[in-house]
Amino acid sequence: MHPILSAEHVTKVFAAGRGDPVVAVDDLSVDINEGEFVCLLGASGCGKSTMLNMFAGFTQPTNGTVCLRGTPITSIEPRCGMVFQSYALFPWKTVRGNVEFGLKVRRVSKDVRRERAQQFIDMVKLTGFEDHYPTELSGGMQQRVTLARLLANDPEVLLMDEPFAALDAMTRQVMQEELLRIHDANRKTTVFITHSIDEALILSNRIVVMSARPGRVKAILPNDLPSPRHVDVQLSPEYADLKRQIWQLVESEVRHHDETNN
């Protein structure tokens, strides 16, 4: 089976003013299969956001290629839809206006647009909030709008850049449940960035552990915890085993990173 999304020997170097160029990602290769939920796990500054930005086509690799269904991604790729950590909702549009955006710019007729938007607003449980503006909603609700806006646009891949990092712990847990439910329903290929081992374990089918500075793949671990999954999977012994295993991989990285920073 061909991977839907792939990175082949990707290196990304940023020029850093007068200082030495920063190698954010170094010779990274990863394949992501159709329908998978992959978590990129790593400490801050490990280049995971850079990797995601290359999948979305916001930046291009310095070396190597990033491909969607075998074709290199060379410009912003709407088939790889992004959920941003800071929501990036249009403040001048209502919930409905935001969710309809992708369809509107593709010139989908008003009636169809409205119907599809409603379907996804219902899916993220925001029925009744269609005419609210984003500033009138809580952080969790705003992130639901972002999710509905993306899903209504029907991309082939969902890219999520620490989407729940700004939410409080309880809202985050609810959102993780929601995301699992939605993924079970539509089986969209998802690449999810997080620095939380728990979040990666709860959500993913596969975990790509990244090393810090430069960003490399440290290990790729299958996550065989039972599916459909719920947040209470955290109580199982298998979960604890996996968590210990990942922590051992990550620990040295975090310590090393911390020491070089000080």
Partner 1 sequence: MVTLGPVDDTASAAVVTEQGDLRRKIAVPWMRLISLASVVTVMTLWYVSTEYGWILPIFLPKPATVWQEAQGAFAGGLLLTDVWMSSKRVFLGFALAGIVAIPLGVAMAIWAPAKAILDPFVSLLRPLPSITWIPLTMLWLGIGESQKVAIVFMGSWIYILLYTYESTKRVDPLLIRAARNLGARDIDVMYEVIFPGALPGIITGLKVTLAISWSCVLSAEMVAAQNGLGAMIWQAKDWGNLALVLVGMLSISITVLVADQVANRIERLLLPWERDRHQ
Contacting residues toward partner 1, per CB under 8 A:
56, 58, 76, 78, 80-82, 84, 86, 88, 90-93, 101-102, 104-106, 133-136, 149-150, 153
CA dist., res. 259 & res. 262, Å (int): 5
As measured in angstroms, the least distance from the Cβ of 121 to partner 1 is 16
In the complex with partner 1, the residue whose CB is nearer, 43 or 151, is 151
Strand order in the sheet with 71-72: 22-32, 5-14, 63-68, 71-72
In the complex with partner 1, the residue whose CB is nearer, 150 or 180, is 150
| 150 backbone dihedrals φ, ψ, rounded to 5° | -70, -45
As measured in angstroms, the least distance from the Cβ of 97 to partner 1 is 9
In the complex with partner 1, the residue whose CB is nearer, 86 or 234, is 86
Q: Which two tokens stand for residue 257?
A: 């990173």
In the complex with partner 1, the residue whose CB is nearer, 134 or 214, is 134
As measured in angstroms, the least distance from the Cβ of 27 to partner 1 is 27
In the complex with partner 1, the residue whose CB is nearer, 41 or 126, is 126
CA dist., res. 201 & res. 190, Å (int): 14
CA dist., res. 78 & res. 150, Å (int): 10
As measured in angstroms, the least distance from the Cβ of 189 to partner 1 is 16
B/e letters for 171-194, b = 16+ CB within 10 Å, e = fewer, are bbbebbebbbebbeeeebbbbbbb
Provide the residue type at 57 as one letter.
G
In the complex with partner 1, the residue whose CB is nearer, 17 or 91, is 91
Provide the residue type at 111 as one letter.
D
Contact in structure between 209 and 221 (CB atoms under 8 Å): yes
Check residue 215 and report its DSSP letter: B
As measured in angstroms, the least distance from the Cβ of 235 to partner 1 is 29
As measured in angstroms, the least distance from the Cβ of 174 to partner 1 is 24
